[in-house]
Every structure is written in structure tokens, then in C-alpha cells.
């Protein structure tokens, strides 16, 4: 066992003691299994193939304290307002350091067949529904951070849509990391179960106001039923001290459709993992990603698409803009299993390097065991096109403004796909603020 | 307006211009002709401020200022416009957005109010007619997927919006059919006034049927070998460039 894992075993005992009576629940059995697995695995090192370019030693050597109960940590209504999406969403769920905030969440009346609540509450009152899905899709046996999240899973988002239900308005989930001294680990655990022929639009914002190192270790399990449609946006704007590890597993039943946009702007070390499993025929999944990093930020995007059944289509477009000494990692796995004929899998990764010291490691990884398939992948790494810069300058546009405009154009390709308009506007403002002469670009 | 004295310029360490002299006054149209490789496009690029072109000797004065010390954007703001031989495609930036950014930078420099969206649209509509351009091209990314003719028309459209004092057309006629050529030339002619000047860089005399020059210069091997009136262009069309090469006694001109 790694010595640094020891601390989490002690914390696990503390959690167990706080459970009173619930320590024999089915959920807690999973937690026990997970902490045992975590103590065997420890934190990954760069010798681990999946973590070759992402050194989590700083995370491993910091004894982060799991947040075991809700504390508003000085979060104000103004702060929540600032990041909320106003009236354009049907509901806002706020989590502070991984725990549901009753005081800041609001939900209008829900249609029949729709359950939206905190996972903590669902564990208490909807045990059967929760146990049927929780930890069924994430394989923590092979993943330290997933094991760690599972060991400490207490709260997060719970959505259950019955067959044939549609949530008309988008739902916004705001995860706030707060606490001036940092040093904590938030472990939000989300479970979204969509029945047959259901429809949902979900936006997530991860924001950090803690100005000292902390760890967000999030896991989401999403089940998309037959003929269902899921639109998903994730905006990660944690503080520049944050470590953010996010794992999302999407399990798609037949003829379902998922579009997910993951935008990553914050954090000092960020790992986004998305796994899509096509569990039946005829589904489609579109994953788009945009990372903007500078200074010493590291942003790692790992995707896995498991074409386990025939006639499914996956489209991936991941873009990164790296400035300063920032580092980017992209690893895109596509498995096409022997039965998965007529698979259509496309993957594109594009990186724009704005400085000489920014680095990217990109790796497509296709394993194809069927013969009647279309699989394409492409990766480009480049700088701004000087001919384009000159063309703009020759029309009177200043050099930095020209560079900013071109950088913004590179980003807007993905940023423009964000489903929910106010979130898109927030993102636009953030992108403009990142550009050196963003004001000029914005005013045009 | 523009005075070029003994201009030497190199590209990639190789000197292309070997001492060009030229003076352009307000209200004039000058044609710069010459065989391929004579340095026509290099001259146009140096005037617009292309950074890969290094001036090794000589001077260029524009409206009394040292042009060579000015950044490309400052040249544009001071009224120089280069219509590109190969207009650049800019995916992700719409034509309108691009033009508005340029125009407002120029207006700000001139101490004029920046135009708001409505005023800008009014101006755009008025200028579109000038070059008979499809309005649908406005909301497309700059030059992306445009035909050759649409790209050249877009250059003249930009010129119409920016209202330069000195327009330099670099082989704007290349790749244009006769109808497009006429439209482009019409656009240029409508923008002519006693206060501005046009330098037309071309290989062929064809465009000069529509944009009638006051002066014609023949650039051979990086120098102006001969200057004359519009009749010189016709003479070149008829006799080619070889007789000029013979006249100046350079047998080794890059083809």
C-alpha cells in the first residue's frame, strides 16, 4: 500500500462511524469494496499507461480531507446567482463541496414520472431504484479515482425519468468548491437514469472559489434508455489551484442519442474521462471538447467509445488551446467489437499552440474487430496561421486583436455547440476574458 | 502620395527587387506590368508590410511618412489597401465580423465614431451593389469555399468598405472570366477620385482595357525597365516582354 493511501483509510473509518445504523446498507457494502480496492491500487503513477503524461503525484502526496457533510462554507446567494442560468432553466441544483445545498437549489414542480433530487435523499427513500444502477457502470476495480469516489460517495445528483417522460426545460447543476483553506476532497456522485423514449437536457458547471489546493473527484453514471435523447453540457471553471478529476460513464440503450460538450477552462491539473458504451443497436453519440489552458495548467481528456453492438455512430471533436507552459493530453480509445458491424466512428483532435513552451500529447487508439465499419481519426497540432494574421492586419486589425480573433474562432467551433444559450453566453464572456484583447473581439 | 526610391528587397535571403523607383500622385492610376518572377508581387507585398519581405536598401515615403517603419495594420489605417493575389480563407470568422473589425479599427484611427451594427449593415448593403456580390457570402467564413471570382470580388468589396487612399491590386485579374473582370474593374473605377490612387499589378493588358491607367511601368528583373502611357500596355500585349529585355540588355531574366 502506498503510504499516502493510508490517510484515506482513516477517513473512511470516520465516515463509517458517522453512518449510525446505515453501515450495513447495500450502498455501504459497495463503499467498503471500493476503499479496499483503492488501498490496493493506490494513486496511479506515470508508469501506468493510462496516466503516462499526467503526473498525479501532487494529488497523491496531499492528504485531502473528504468532505463528509454539508457546510455552506460562506457561499452567498450572489455567488450562486452569478453562475446560475436564470429563468432559462427549469431547475437549479447546487452542491457545495459535493453535498446538496437545500438553501440554494430550486426546482419548479416536476411532471409525473420525473424524479430529481440529491443522491443522499434517493439513497434513503428510493433504495431499490438506486441500488439497481449505482456503481453498475463504473468499473472502479481498474480505476483508483473511481474507487476513491465510490468509497466516499454520499451525495450528488439523482435523476430518474420514467418511460416516455420529457423534461421540457433544461436542468442546471452547479458544483461549488468553497472553503478558504482548501485541503478538502469533494466527491460528487451523480446517477442519471433515463427510461425508454425520454428526453433530458442537462448542464453542469464546476466552479471553485477556494484559493488553496483542493480536489474535486467526480463520478457520473448515466443510463440512456431506448429511443431517448440526452443533451449534456459541462463547463469546468474550477479555481486555478484546483485538481479536478471527472469520470462520466454513459450507457446507451438502442436507438438513443447523446450529445455532450465538455468545456475545461479552470484547474491546475484536470483529467476528464468520458466512456460511452453502446449497449444495443442503432445509437449515436457526439462528444465535443474544448480545453483552454495557460500558465502551468495541465488538461487531460481521455475518451473511450465502446462499439459493442452494430449500427452505432460516434463523433468526437476535441480542441485545445494551450498558452504559456500549459500541457494538454488527448487519448481517444475506440473499440469496435466483432459483432459491431456498420459502426461509424469518427474522431478529431485539434490543438492550437500559442506559445513555444506549450506541449500536447495526443494519441488515438483504435481497436477494430469488425470488418464492415467506417472509422476515421485525425489529429492536428499547429500555431496560428501567419498568412491569416497578415491578411487581418492588412485590413487594419491590430496584430494582437487578429491573433485573438483567430484563437476565438478556433474555440467557437466547439463553444458554439453548447446547447443552453445563457451557458453559451457565459462561456463566450469567459473566452473573451482569456484573450489578451478580448474586449476588442467582443465589441466587434 | 507614394514615393519609392531605390528599393531593394529580399525574400528568403534572395534579393528580388534591385532598386525600384516610382512616384504615384493622388488621382493617378499606375499599372505595374512584367513577366513572371520580375518582382511585381514582391513590390506589392513590401508596400503592404509583408514581414517575410526584407527591405535591404532604399526608402518608401507615403503621405510624407516613412512607410517602411509602419506596421501592416497602421498602413491599412493610414489608407493603404492591398487586394491579395490569393485571398486568405479564415474558417470560423464571418466576412461581416472580419470587415467590421477592420473598418472600426480604421475609423478609430481616423478619429471617427465606430459604426454600430445597424449603421454597418447599411454601409454593407450600399457597397454590395457596387461589386454585385451575393449577400449570402457575408455570413460565410471569410473566403472559405468561395470560388476564385467570389474571392476577388470580396477583395474589391472590402476595398469599397475601407475606402483606401492608395489601393494596390495584386494580379486581381488572374483567374477571372471576362464578366467577373468587368465587375471587378467597375468596382475599382467607381472608387476612383482625384484624391486617391490605384496601383494595378498585372501580367496581362486585359484588365487595363477596363481600368485605364495614367502610367504603365514594366518591371523586369527587379527594376523598372520602362515607363510610358497606356499605349505601352498595348505594345506589350502585342510584342510580349522580350523586346524590353533586349532593350535593357539582360539576357538572363527569370522566366
Cα–Cα distance for residue pair A112/A165, rounded to 1 Å: 8
Chain B residues within an 8 Å CB radius of A385 = 88
The band of B249, judged by pLDDT with boundaries at 50, 70 and 90, is low
Residue A272 lies in a domain: yes
Answer yes or no: is pLDDT of B194 > 70: yes
- Considering the domain architecture, whether residues A219 and A104 belong to the same structural domain is answered as yes
Residue A338 lies in a domain: no
SS (H, E, C) chain B: CEEEEEEEEEECCEEEEEEEEEEECCCCEEEEECCCCCCHHHHHHHHHCCCCEEEEEEEEEECCEEHHHCCHHHHHHCCEEEECCCCCCEEEEEHHHHHHHHHHHHHHHCCCCCCCHHHHHHHHHHHHHHHCCCHHHHHCEECCCCCHHHHHHHHHHHHHHHCCCEEEEECCCCCCCHHHHHHHHHHHHHHCCCCCEEEEEECCCHHHHCCCCCEEEEEECCEEEEEECCHHHHHHHHHCCHHHHHHHCCCCCCC
How much is the ipTM here?
Answer: 0.95
The pLDDT value recorded for residue A400 is: 93
* Number of domains comprising chain A: 2
Residue B187 lies in a domain: yes
Separation of first and last alpha carbons in chain B: 32
Residue A179 lies in a domain: yes
* CB spacing of A388 vs B102 below 8 angstroms: no
Cα–Cα distance for residue pair A215/A62, rounded to 1 Å: 10
User: Cα angle vertex A227, ends A222, A231, to 5°?
Assistant: 50
Contact A339, A369 (CB under 8 A): no
Q: Tally C-beta pairs within 8 A across A and B.
A: 81
Residue in the block written with cell 466587434: A444
Beta strands B223-228; B215-220: pairing state = antiparallel
- Structure-block grid coordinates of residue B232: 505601352
Cα–Cα distance for residue pair A378/B50, rounded to 1 Å: 32
Selecting from B93, B104, B109 the residue whose C-beta is nearest the C-beta of A405 gives B93
pTM of the model: 0.91
More confident call, A358 vs A109: A358
Look at phi and psi of residue B221 and say left if phi exceeds 0, alpha if psi is from -120 to 50, else beta.
Answer: left
Beta strands B215-220; B29-33: pairing state = parallel
Mean predicted confidence (pLDDT) in A307-319: 98
Beta strands A199-208; A91-96: pairing state = unpaired
Chain A residues within an 8 Å CB radius of B102 = 392, 395-397
Cα–Cα distance for residue pair B168/B243, rounded to 1 Å: 27
Beta strands B166-170; B14-24: pairing state = unpaired
Residue B253 lies in a domain: no
Cα–Cα distance for residue pair A242/A44, rounded to 1 Å: 18
What contacts A2, CB < 8 A, 6 or more positions away? A42, A43, A60
- Decide which of A235, A264, A280 is a domain's last residue: A280
Nearest CA distance, B28 vs chain A (angstrom): 22
Of A397, A263, A374, nearest to A318 by C-alpha is A263
Q: What is the pLDDT of residues A332-364, one digit of tens each?
A: 999 999 999 999 999 999 999 999 999 999 999
- Decide which of A256, A280, A304 is a domain's last residue: A280
Cα–Cα distance for residue pair A292/A232, rounded to 1 Å: 19
- Decide which of A241, A262, A280 is a domain's last residue: A280
Mean predicted confidence (pLDDT) in B207-222: 93
Cα–Cα distance for residue pair A172/A154, rounded to 1 Å: 20
DSSP A21-53: TGGGSHHHHHHHHHHHHHHHH-S--TTSGGGTT
Residue B140 belongs to domain with CATH number: 3.40.50.300
* CA-to-CA separations, A176 to A201, A242, A264, A424, in angstroms, rounded: 20, 12, 15, 19
* Number of domains comprising chain B: 1
Mean predicted confidence (pLDDT) in A313-319: 98
Chain B residues within an 8 Å CB radius of A410 = 92
H/E stretch holding A231: strand A229-237
Q: Which residues make beta-bridge pairs with B83?
A: B169
Residue A2, φ and ψ in degrees, nearest 5: -70, 135
Tell me which DSSP letter residue A142 carries. Answer: G
Cα–Cα distance for residue pair B72/A387, rounded to 1 Å: 12
Residue A69 lies in a domain: yes
B51 at interface of A, judged by CB pairs closer than 8 A:
yes
SS (H, E, C) A152-168: CCCCCEEEEECCCCECC
Residue A293 lies in a domain: no
Tell me which DSSP letter residue A169 carries. Answer: S
Q: What is the pLDDT of residues A48-58, one digit of tens each?
A: 999 999 999 99
Q: What is the pLDDT of residues B94-131, one digit of tens each?
A: 999 999 999 999 999 999 999 988 999 999 999 998 88
- Considering the domain architecture, whether residues A393 and A270 belong to the same structural domain is answered as no
Residue A367 lies in a domain: no
Mean predicted confidence (pLDDT) in A230-251: 97
How large a percentage of chain A has pLDDT more than 90? 90
Residue B254 lies in a domain: no
Answer yes or no: is pLDDT of B250 > 60: no
B157 at interface of A, judged by CB pairs closer than 8 A:
no
Contact A233, A203 (CB under 8 A): yes
Choose the mutation target among A319, A384, A395, A415 for the interface with B, i.e. most B CBs under 10 Å.
Answer: A395
Mean predicted confidence (pLDDT) in A43-70: 95
Q: What is the pLDDT of residues B29-79, one digit of tens each?
A: 999 999 888 999 999 999 999 999 999 999 999 999 999 999 999 999 999
How large a percentage of chain A has pLDDT more than 70? 98
Separation of first and last alpha carbons in chain A: 57
Residue A394, φ and ψ in degrees, nearest 5: -70, -10
Mean predicted confidence (pLDDT) in B202-211: 89
* CA-to-CA separations, A7 to A20, A35, A62, in angstroms, rounded: 22, 12, 10
Nearest CA distance, B166 vs chain A (angstrom): 13
Residue A361 lies in a domain: no
CA B79 to chain centre: 12
The band of B254, judged by pLDDT with boundaries at 50, 70 and 90, is very low
Residue B10 lies in a domain: yes
Chain B residues within an 8 Å CB radius of A401 = 101, 105
Residue in the block written with cell 431517448: A228
Cα–Cα distance for residue pair B142/A414, rounded to 1 Å: 19
Number of CB atoms found within 10 A of residue A319's CB: 23
Burial class of residue B129, CB neighbours in 10 A (0-12, 13-18, 19+): exposed
DSSP A290-312: EEEE-TT-EEEEEEEEEE-SSS-
The band of A439, judged by pLDDT with boundaries at 50, 70 and 90, is low
The band of B251, judged by pLDDT with boundaries at 50, 70 and 90, is very low
The pLDDT value recorded for residue A63 is: 93
Residue B213 lies in a domain: yes
B36 lies in which domain range? 2-248
* CB spacing of A398 vs B162 below 8 angstroms: no
Cα–Cα distance for residue pair A317/A301, rounded to 1 Å: 11
Residue B93, φ and ψ in degrees, nearest 5: -120, 120
Which residues of chain B from 100 to 129 reach within 8 Å of chain A, CB to CB?
Answer: 100-106, 109, 114
Residue A163 lies in a domain: yes
* CA-to-CA separations, B225 to B245, B249, B254, in angstroms, rounded: 8, 10, 15
Q: Supply the mean pLDDT for chain A.
A: 94
Selecting from A395, A408, A413 the residue whose C-beta is nearest the C-beta of B102 gives A395
Q: What Rg, from alpha-carbon coordinates, does chain B have?
A: 18
Cα–Cα distance for residue pair A11/B114, rounded to 1 Å: 61
Residue B255 lies in a domain: no
Cα–Cα distance for residue pair B253/B255, rounded to 1 Å: 6
The band of B253, judged by pLDDT with boundaries at 50, 70 and 90, is very low
Cα–Cα distance for residue pair A52/A45, rounded to 1 Å: 7
Q: What is the pLDDT of residues A376-429, one digit of tens each?
A: 999 999 999 999 999 999 999 999 999 999 999 999 999 999 999 999 999 999
Answer yes or no: is pLDDT of B216 > 70: yes
A250 lies in which domain range? 3-280
Amino acid at each position: 500500500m502506498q503510504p499516502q493511501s493510508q490517510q484515506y483509510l482513516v477517513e473512511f473509518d470516520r465516515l463509517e462511524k458517522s453512518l449510525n445504523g446505515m453501515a450495513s446498507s447495500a450502498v455501504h457494502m459497495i463503499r467498503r469494496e471500493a476503499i479496499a480496492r483503492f488501498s490496493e491500487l493506490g494513486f496511479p503513477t506515470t508508469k501506468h499507461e493510462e496516466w503516462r503524461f499526467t503526473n498525479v503525484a501532487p494529488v497523491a502526496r496531499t492528504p485531502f480531507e473528504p468532505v463528509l457533510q454539508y457546510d455552506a462554507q460562506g457561499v452567498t446567494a450572489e455567488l450562486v446567482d452569478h453562475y446560475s442560468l436564470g429563468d432559462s432553466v427549469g431547475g437549479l441544483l447546487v452542491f457545495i463541496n459535493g453535498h446538496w445545498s437545500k438553501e440554494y437549489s430550486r426546482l419548479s414542480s416536476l411532471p409525473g414520472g420525473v424524479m430529481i433530487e440529491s443522491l443522499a435523499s434517493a439513497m434513503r427513500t428510493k433504495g431499490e431504484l438506486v441500488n439497481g444502477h449505482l456503481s453498475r457502470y463504473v468499473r472502479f476495480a481498474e480505476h483508483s479515482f473511481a474507487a476513491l469516489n465510490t468509497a466516499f460517495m454520499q451525495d450528488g445528483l439523482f435523476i430518474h425519468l420514467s418511460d416516455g417522460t420529457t423534461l421540457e426545460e433544461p436542468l442546471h447543476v452547479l458544483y461549488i468548491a468553497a472553503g478558504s483553506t482548501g485541503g478538502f476532497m469533494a466527491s460528487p456522485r451523480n446517477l442519471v437514469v433515463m427510461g425508454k423514449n425520454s428526453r433530458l437536457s442537462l448542464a453542469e458547471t464546476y466552479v471553485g472559489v477556494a484559493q488553496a489546493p483542493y480536489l474535486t473527484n467526480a463520478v457520473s453514471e448515466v443510463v440512456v434508455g431506448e429511443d431517448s435523447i440526452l443533451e449534456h453540457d459541462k463547463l469546468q471553471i474550477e479555481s486555478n489551484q484546483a485538481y479536478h478529476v471527472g469520470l462520466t460513464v454513459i450507457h446507451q440503450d438502442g436507438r438513443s442519442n447523446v450529445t455532450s460538450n465538455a468545456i475545461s477552462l479552470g484547474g491546475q491539473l484536470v483529467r476528464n474521462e468520458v466512456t460511452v458504451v453502446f449497449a444495443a443497436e442503432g445509437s449515436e453519440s457526439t462528444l465535443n471538447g474544448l480545453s483552454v489552458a495557460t500558465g502551468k495548467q495541465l488538461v487531460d481528456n481521455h475518451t473511450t467509445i465502446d462499439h459493442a453492438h452494430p449500427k452505432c455512430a460516434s463523433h468526437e471533436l476535441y480542441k485545445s488551446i494551450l498558452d504559456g507552459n500549459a500541457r494538454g493530453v488527448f487519448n481517444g480509445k475506440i473499440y469496435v467489437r466483432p459483432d459491431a458491424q456498420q459502426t461509424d466512428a469518427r474522431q478529431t483532435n485539434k490543438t492550437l499552440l500559442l506559445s513555444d513552451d506549450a506541449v500536447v500529447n495526443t494519441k488515438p487508439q483504435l481497436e477494430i474487430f469488425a470488418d464492415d465499419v467506417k472509422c476515421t481519426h485525425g489529429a492536428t497540432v499547429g500555431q496560428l496561421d501567419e498568412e491569416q494574421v497578415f491578411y487581418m492586419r492588412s485590413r487594419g486589425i491590430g496584430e494582437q486583436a487578429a491573433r485573438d480573433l483567430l484563437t476565438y474562432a478556433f474555440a467557437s467551433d466547439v463553444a458554439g455547440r453548447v446547447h443552453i444559450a445563457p451557458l453559451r453566453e457565459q462561456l463566450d464572456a469567459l473566452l473573451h476574458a482569456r484573450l489578451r484583447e478580448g474586449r476588442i473581439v467582443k465589441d466587434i | 502620395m507614394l514615393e519609392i526610391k531605390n528599393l531593394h528587397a529580399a525574400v528568403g535571403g534572395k534579393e528580388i527587387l534591385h532598386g525600384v523607383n516610382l512616384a504615384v500622385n493622388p488621382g493617378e492610376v499606375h499599372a505595374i506590368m512584367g513577366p513572371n518572377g520580375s518582382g511585381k508581387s514582391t513590390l506589392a507585398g513590401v508596400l503592404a508590410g509583408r514581414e517575410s519581405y526584407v527591405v535591404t536598401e532604399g526608402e518608401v515615403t507615403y503621405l510624407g511618412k516613412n512607410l517602411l517603419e509602419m506596421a501592416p495594420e497602421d498602413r491599412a489605417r493610414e489608407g493603404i489597401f492591398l487586394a491579395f493575389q490569393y485571398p486568405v480563407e479564415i474558417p470560423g470568422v464571418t466576412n461581416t465580423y472580419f470587415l467590421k473589425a477592420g473598418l472600426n479599427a480604421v475609423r478609430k484611427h481616423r478619429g471617427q465614431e465606430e459604426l454600430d451594427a445597424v449603421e454597418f449593415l447599411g454601409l454593407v448593403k450600399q457597397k454590395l451593389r457596387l461589386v454585385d456580390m451575393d449577400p449570402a457570402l457575408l455570413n460565410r467564413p471569410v473566403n472559405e469555399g468561395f470560388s476564385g471570382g467570389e474571392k476577388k470580388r470580396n477583395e474589391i468589396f472590402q476595398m469599397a468598405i475601407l475606402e483606401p487612399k492608395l489601393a494596390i491590386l495584386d494580379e486581381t485579374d488572374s483567374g477571372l472570366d471576362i464578366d467577373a473582370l468587368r465587375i471587378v474593374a467597375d468596382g475599382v473605377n467607381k472608387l476612383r477620385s482625384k484624391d486617391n490612387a490605384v496601383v494595378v499589378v498585372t501580367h496581362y493588358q486585359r484588365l487595363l482595357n477596363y481600368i485605364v491607367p495614367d502610367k504603365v511601368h514594366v518591371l523586369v528583373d527587379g527594376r523598372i525597365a520602362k515607363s510610358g502611357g497606356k499605349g505601352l500596355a498595348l505594345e506589350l500585349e502585342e510584342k510580349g516582354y522580350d523586346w524590353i529585355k533586349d532593350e535593357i540588355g539582360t539576357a538572363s531574366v527569370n522566366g
